[in-house]
Amino acid sequence: MIQSILTNERFLKNLQRIMLYAAIIFIAFYALFPFYWAFSTSFKTESEMFQSASYLPRNPTLKNYEYVFRDNTFVNSLKNSAIVSSLTAVLALVVGSFAAYALGRLRFKGRVVMLYIVLSMTMFPAISILSGLYTIVRELGFFGTPLALIATYPVFILPFTVWVLTSFFRGLPAEIEQAAIVDGATPFQTFRLILLPLTAPALVTTGLLAFVLSWNEYLFALNFTTTNPDAKTVPVTIAQFTGQFARQEPIAEIMAAAMVVTIPLVVLVLIFQNRIVEGLTAGAVKG
């Protein structure tokens, strides 16, 4: 009897199906549960933090969000992060697309060397240059301002941008330029008027990734803005959050702040997810 059920092909197919969906549910749970936990904690009261953990807030409250938005340091750091990340992304896109066009489409001596330099830069350990960067940031007079971050983030954003965009440029068919040259366009005109519009989707992806990477950056932000609380970015503020009452770690508030910072990112990622995966695989970028 049992034997016949096990050999029944339809049963096996169904079993496979069930196992597949079990695995899918497991993965979704794995990826989402901590996020859900942060979300639900952000609505809990401070006193609930000391009771046994519960999956839903016992007395849901918006107080944490209220505190967070009343906290000047946090609001300020949101502003800083937005400014730093968007300027860094724009700068990296402009400078990076120039370099990528040169590396992907033009013939010149030294191209291979430049490609290797860019590639090795993508693996550069930022901590190794921290002490040297201090000096340079000080000399430029940027220390303790968001400018310090805009000036130093290209260390890790630019090589990645150049690398991803180079592979996009290389993927475009050669006939495009040949036609343009026949029509009498200069190489720069070809770049600006023909190739750049064609890579617009790639630019959106790369820009978004550059934005996310600088939004999440911690090491430089921690070091170059220590002297000036007004220049801190969101990761630093959250790592050092003391909240309204400094006696106890205000975990619920921290989670509310974390939600404010993360939800826009998650929404962006969900909207552009297809493109991001493409961009990431093209650049095999760091996480």
Partner 1 sequence: MSQPSPDTYPTSGRKAKRTTLPAQLIGGLLIAIGILAVVVFVITVSQDPGIQFAVNWTASEEFPEQPSILLAFLERFGIILPALVAYLSLFFISIGAQVFGGSLRAAHWAKVILMWLTIGLGIVTVLTIYNTIRVANEEALPVDVGALLGSLVLPVLGMLIIGGVWWWLSNNLENYFMGEDLLIARETRLAWNLLIPTLAIFILVAARPLEQTFIRSLTDKRFAGRGVPQFVGLDNYAQLLTIRLDTVTCRTEDDGECSVRDNGAVRWESIERDLLQDGYRTVSNIPIPFSSGQSIAISGRDNDFIGAINTTLIFTVVSVTGELLIGLFMAMVVNSNFRGRGIMRAVMLIPWAIPTVISARLWELMLKDTSAGIVNKVMMDLHLINAPQAWLSEPSLQLPAAIMVDVWKTAPFMALLLLAGLQTIPRDLYEAAAVDGASPVRRFFSITLPLLRPALAIALIFRTLDALRVFDLFNVLFGRQQLSMATYNFETLVSNQKDGYASAVSVIIFIFISIFAFIYVRMLQVETD
Give pairs for 20-27: CB < 8 Å, separation 24+: none
Q: For residue 58, which of 252, 188, 201 has the smallest C-alpha distance?
A: 252
* Residues between 4 and 23 that touch partner 1 (CB under 8 A): 20-21, 23
Pick between residue 72 and residue 281 the one whose CB is nearest to partner 1. Answer: 281
Quote the least distance from Cβ 70 to partner 1, whole Å: 20
Q: Does 158 bind partner 1 (CB under 8 A)?
A: yes
Q: Which member of 82, 83, 87, 155 binds partner 1 (CB under 8 A)?
A: 155
Report CA-CA distances (Å) from 136 to 31, 79, 132, 152, 156: 40, 25, 7, 10, 17
Q: For residue 65, which of 263, 257, 262 has the smallest C-alpha distance?
A: 257
Q: Which member of 4, 7, 52, 59 binds partner 1 (CB under 8 A)?
A: 52
Pick between residue 27 and residue 193 the one whose CB is nearest to partner 1. Answer: 27
Quote the least distance from Cβ 2 to partner 1, whole Å: 22
Q: Which residue has the tokens 């941008």?
A: 161
Contact call for residues 107 and 181 (beta carbons, < 8 A): no
**Interface map 177-216 toward partner 1 (x if CB under 8 A):** ----x----xxx-----------------------x--xx
DSSP 8-state assignment for residue 284: T
Q: Which member of 6, 15, 18, 53 binds partner 1 (CB under 8 A)?
A: 53
Q: Print burial letters for 70-84: b (CB count within 10 Å at least 16), e (below 16).
A: ebeebebbbebbeeb
Q: Does 222 bind partner 1 (CB under 8 A)?
A: yes
Q: Which stretch binds partner 1 (CB under 8 A): 7-15, 67-75, 117-125, 194-202?
A: 117-125
Quote the least distance from Cβ 175 to partner 1, whole Å: 16
269 is written with which tokens?
């990622």
**Interface map 231-270 toward partner 1 (x if CB under 8 A):** ---xxx-xx-----------x--xx--x--xx--xx-xxx
Q: Could you tell me how far CA 219 lies from the centroid of its own chain?
A: 15
* Residues between 57 and 76 that touch partner 1 (CB under 8 A): none
Greatest distance between any 2 Cα atoms in the chain: 83
**Residues with Cβ within 8 Å of residue 95, at least 6 apart in sequence:** 154, 158
Residue count, binding to partner 1 (CB under 8 A): 100
